[in-house]
Structure 1
């Protein structure tokens, strides 16, 4: 990364860290759910954590079936 590009990147990072640039957890999505209501950022983040946990659990079950080791 050249000096000019690095400086540009740092300026962008400083701008994005400002309080007024941070998304609010109650911000509403442009898309709508099944009932026609928008999602909040809080709901989206919670849903991503839940889905990731669920899929990790599924992978753990598959791994146990393959190697026979329970847990760990």
Structure 2
């Protein structure tokens, strides 16, 4: 992996981490402010948070593998 590709992957990981944190914050707000009345939002919001965290975990694993290979 080139230095540029590695930098792009690092940038992607940071972006995906931020997105997952945003979904976690939204989920927290739902739990703190809108439950039990907003219970119907839980499945969709939970799935979105899961998907964002999974995307981050996958990208982070690729980054870890790439940095181990580069070392």
Q: TM-score range by the shorter chain?
A: 0.3 to 0.5
TM-score by length of 1: 0.41
Which is helix-richer, 1 or 2? 2
- Which is bigger in relative contact order (C-alpha 8 A, separation at least 6)? 2
Which is strand-richer, 1 or 2? 1
